[in-house]
Amino acid sequence: MLPMEVRSVSSGQHRIRRWVTADIVAAIPLVFLTLLIFFGRADFGHAKEPLPVAADKLPADNPFSRPSPLPYQAPEFNRIREEHYLPAFLEGMSEQLRELDAITDSSEAATFENTILPLEKSGALLTRVRNVFSNLTSSNKTEGLQNIETELAPLQAAHADNILLNGKLFARVKSLWERRADENLTPEQTEVLRQHYESFVRAGASLAENKKAQIRVLNERISRLETQFDENLLAVVTERAVVVETREELDGLSEGDVAAAAELATERGHDGKFVLEITNTTRVPVLTSLNNRKLRERVWKASAERALGRNGGVDNRPLILELARLRAERAELLGFPSHSAFKLQNQMARKPEAAMSMLTDLAPGVVDRARQEAADLVAMMRSRGKDHDLQPWDWEYYAEKVRQERFEFDESEVKPYFELNTVLEKGVFFTMNKLFGITFRRRTDLPVFQADVRIFDVIDSDGEQIGLYYFDPFRRPEKRGGAWMSSFVDQSALLQEHPVITNTLNIPRPASGEPALISFDNVITMFHEMGHAVHGLFSDVTYPSVSGTNTPRDFVEFPSTFEEDWAVTPEILANYARHYQTGEQIPEELLNKVIRASRFNQGFDTLEYLSAALLDLEWHSLTAEQIPEDVEAFEAAALKKHGIDFAPVPPRYRTAYFAHIWGGGYSSSYYAYIWSEVLAADAFAFMKENGGCTRENGDRIRSQILSRGSSRDPMDSWKAFRGREPEVESLLIRRGLK
């Protein structure tokens, strides 16, 4: 769960996303999840030593007791009930420990076949239940699932420690690593061995026993805090929703948006009123349209001041300060000066200084562009007789006015040409067919966990099926914010498993009986998430630990961001941008305006991202002794330090609700989105230079990037594709900054 803002779901065009969040974490196979926690792919934390053991083996009527009999091991959602999860987790953890005991009990010298191979195969039951559970707790969380998640967090953390701090197991892996030159390993096997060895070392396996004990205590507490942060954010969305008394206050919103707000109000017990929800980012999409300035201010403050304990509400500040301190203490125990230094050691950036340098080098030009854009907005305000200062709740509203004046269109004019099904089938699927020769065939015979979810067979150009693709488009209260890719099954030749991939979005649900007309920003999101999806679908490796999206954070967003630019390629746009009623193509003049407008407001978009990314690195570059007492004061000082404290453009995520870095796996890694965008822009430039959206180009990126996972060093994969190291020129052009 890349992920991946996985998409933070920001509004507007061409901005850095994810919430891959995450986005991506849920795609990691459990066999290697525990080994990735400290290796940098996931950041869940760990826990105490004792691990509950299931009293008996899992009953046969538990759907997780054996691989699903459905095609490609698709989950049996028609049979799975909440009471099945906890017993399956407990038995799965116990089963994996027994499997690892069999490795360490061997009297034979360690080899790849008797140590790494069974390690890769271990934890099958745990993988099955975790992949389903983690997806549902992100996309369809109930109170029951939340309670189970809270109970499981320290248990899973303890399980990770029981593996990564297992002295006997580490001794075998270390012995094999030291003799690797004599083992006649394939390049993929060597890379798998290296990653396992480094995972143990980074987890503390080489530490003295007293320090291992300290690591366990820290991990257990960190795990609980991260889980609590996620739970708090889910609660705060409802807590901070804005109740509007009258229809007149919603002037500027479309009839469809008003109807949706009325439906939500009824669901929340506010009959006759309207409810506007905040999104996971500081900005809120309705701010572009609301004419009522006081209501805009209410909505913006509901978003930007969340989780600060206002009026007795959720307060994440004590949790954040403790979490930052504990992460710093853990890094010091492991021999690193900071959590950032620890986390970036095995990323493409390698050191925090490299990531920080890239961001700070961009900052002056980005701030200048944002100030130029602010001047345009103030001029628009003055032309309309408004003499107040430009505030954050004014930016998107007047930016939309400038956009309309400069490009002579608004979102309400464009949305009728972007109907969800048409965008999916004639836009996203069409592009994947042109690039890779794959097709998507809808099927309705497999069970789903929620009625909105659609399933497709993914068929390769030779007629062979690659795997399954799940599409879950609409926002609902049980779903966390953003958009992301994850998986129910990961590709592995060793396990003879094919990928079962899911894309989850948060597109506003249309009123009953109405078509789903989506914003251009959501169009870009759909292309982005499909980029993650094909990264998982095209995986062609032997070992599950290096499959699909199991790559460094600052590489994993590259394939997804790369796919975004096809959405604004004229030949692609012309195929899917059709009026939902008449079927007519979007007028060429309007289409050209959409493309030109895609670079509008990039100073704002880039600055709010840079602010969040630098905040992340500043928090996680502290030692334990440097952790401040005041969250808001530290945030303000960090922004001022880098010259990015421009009041009308706040960070995309303020500290108190920065899910990527406190609850997700992106601590010290939020910079990865723009790092990956450098790769994406350079890759797309290569495509343009060599014929555009062709099978030859698609096959090249598929064979050298998408199929490789992390079976070789990402920079080696990049160079095999591009023929040289990445260059930033294309990024500056892509963002309209040059």
Can you tell me the distance from the alpha carbon of 136 to that of 732, in angstroms, rounded to the nearest whole number? 38
DSSP string for 543-560: -GGG-TT-S-HHHHTHHH
SS (H, E, C) 425-473: HHHHHHHHHHHHCCEEEEECCCCCCCCCCEEEEEECCCCCEEEEEEEEE
Q: Which of 617, 621, 616, 630 is nearest to 659 (CA)?
A: 616
* φ and ψ at residue 461, rounded to 5 degrees: -65, -20
pLDDT at 42: 34
When pLDDT is averaged across residues 184-194 and rounded to a whole number, the result is 97
For residue 701, is pLDDT > 60?
yes
DSSP string for 586-651: PPHHHHHHHHHHTTTTHHHHHHHHHHHHHHHHHHHT--GGG--S-HHHHHHHHHHHTT---TTS--
pLDDT above 70 as % of the chain = 92
Q: What is the pLDDT of residues 470-503, one digit of tens each?
A: 999 999 989 988 899 999 999 999 999 999 999 9
When pLDDT is averaged across residues 552-557 and rounded to a whole number, the result is 91
Give the residue numbers annotated as catalytic, written as ranges.
Answer: 529
Contact call for residues 484 and 23 (beta carbons, < 8 A): yes
Domain span(s) for CATH 1.10.1370.40 in the chain: 27-232
Task: Give the angle 29-35-41 at the CA atoms, nearest 5°.
Answer: 70
For residue 51, is pLDDT > 70?
no
SS (H, E, C) 642-670: CCCCCCCCCCCCCHHHCHHHHCCCCCCCC
Q: Whole-prediction pTM value?
A: 0.80
Q: What is the pLDDT of residues 224-240, one digit of tens each?
A: 999 999 899 989 988 99
**For the chain, how long is the longest CA-to-CA vector?**
84
C-alpha distances in Å from residue 517, one per residue of 410, 531, 580, 654, 705: 14, 22, 8, 30, 34
Question: Band of the pLDDT at 139, cuts 50, 70, 90?
Answer: very high
pLDDT at 140: 94
Contact call for residues 672 and 31 (beta carbons, < 8 A): no
CATH of 27-232, one of 3.30.420.40, 2.40.40.20, 2.60.15.10, 1.10.1370.40: 1.10.1370.40
Question: Band of the pLDDT at 56, cuts 50, 70, 90?
Answer: low
pLDDT at 55: 41
When pLDDT is averaged across residues 52-70 and rounded to a whole number, the result is 82
pLDDT at 3: 26
Q: What is the pLDDT of residues 525-552, one digit of tens each?
A: 999 999 999 999 999 999 999 999 999 9
For residue 581, is pLDDT > 70?
yes
Dihedral of the CA atoms 50, 52, 55, 61 (nearest 10)?
Answer: -150
pLDDT at 423: 98
Can you tell me the distance from the alpha carbon of 19 to that of 673, in angstroms, rounded to the nearest whole number? 10
